[in-house]
Amino acid sequence: MLSEKIQTALNAQINKEIYSSYLYLAMSMYFESEDLSGAASWMRTQVLEEMSHAEKFMNYVNERGGRVFLDAIEKPASSWENPLDAFHGALEHERFISASINDLVALAREEKDYMSDNFLQWFVAEQVEEEASVSEVIRMFKLAGGAGGGLLMIDRELGSRVFTPPSAE
């Protein structure tokens, strides 16, 4: 059984994961409006990934005999100065999520909830991948320097990303 503190913190994380999905959907719509369908597709894949993270948390809370409580989702931004600015926003958000996961791990250890600590280690590793993935896109945009041909190539590459659901473990 989950402690009340852990259950509350996990529910807050579920809200953050759903917000992440909503934010990336807003970014996808921004990229569509900028005729960057590859970047829009990349973000749509991110939407699915974030929702799968929320689902993984919800399943865990239920498996541990807790209760999931969904909260209101904050309205995300809807426009950015340019594609690079949007991806900088995504990186900042992923760093926020990483800090939140780290706080959950600290709480699980404080509560001596080693099952939750073990569960959260998947997310610790996932956040390393999330930050690296967005950082790589930022690197590509910086190298292109706003040049049309470079943006076209980056957009094509971003459009090739596909969603791979996380393992059930």
Q: How far apart are CA 36 and CA 20, in angstroms?
A: 20
Look at residue 169 and tell me whether its pLDDT is greater than 60. Answer: no
Whose tokens are 């791990």? That residue is: 105
Task: Using CA atoms of 117, 123, 124, 126 in order, give the dihedral in degrees to the nearest 10.
Answer: 160
CATH architecture, range 4-158:
Up-down Bundle (1.20)
Q: How far apart are CA 136 and CA 129, in angstroms?
A: 10
- For 78, the 3-state DSSP assignment is coil
- Considering the chain, what is the average pLDDT of its residues? 94
Average pLDDT, stretch 116-140?
97
Quote the pTM value.
0.92
Look at residue 131 and tell me whether its pLDDT is greater than 90. Answer: yes
E strand spans, the chain: none
